[in-house]
Chains A and B, each alone.
Chain A
Amino acid sequence: MSPNNILSPRQFALAIIAVTSGGAVGTLLRDVLLRLQSDPIPRAVATYTNVPAYGSWTGQIPWVLLVINFIGVYCATTLLRTAIRRRDPNDPTRLLVITGFFGGFTSYSGLFVALAAIWHLSIGGSLFVAAGALGSGIFAGWLGLGRRQHS
Chain B
Amino acid sequence: MLLVTITGALGCVARFLMEYAVRRHHPTQRPWATVAANAIGSGIAGWAAYRLVSFGDQQMRTIILTGFCGGLTTFSSAIAIPALLQREHHWGYAASLVVTTPLLCGGAFVLGMSLAH
Contact = CB atoms under 8 A, between A and B. Distances in A.
Please indicate whether A and B come from the same complex rather than being unrelated chains: yes
Interface string B66-86: 110111111111111111100
A99 B66 contact: no
Interface string B92-112: 000000100110011001000
Contacts of A106: 74-76
B12 A26 contact: yes
B79 A45 contact: no
A41 B74 contact: no
Looking at chain B, what size class is its interface with the partner chain?
Answer: 35 or more
Given A49-B53, A109-B44, A109-B65, A104 B12 contact: yes
B80 A34 contact: no
Given A89-B30, A108-B38, A27 B84 contact: no
A89 B6 CA distance: 24
Contacts of B62: 31, 41
Given A7-B20, A31-B4, A104-B12, 12 more contacts: A6-B24, A19-B13, A31-B67, A73-B80, A73-B83, A89-B30, A100-B12, A103-B74, A108-B105, A112-B105, A134-B102, A137-B79
Interface of B: 1, 4-13, 15-16, 19-20, 23-24, 27, 30, 38, 41-42, 44-46, 49-50, 53, 58, 61-62, 65-67, 69-84, 87, 98, 101-102, 105-106, 109, 113
Interface of A: 3, 5-7, 15-16, 19-24, 26-28, 30-32, 34, 41, 44-45, 48-49, 69, 72-73, 75-77, 80-81, 89-90, 95, 98-100, 102-113, 116, 130, 134, 137-138, 140-142, 144-145, 148
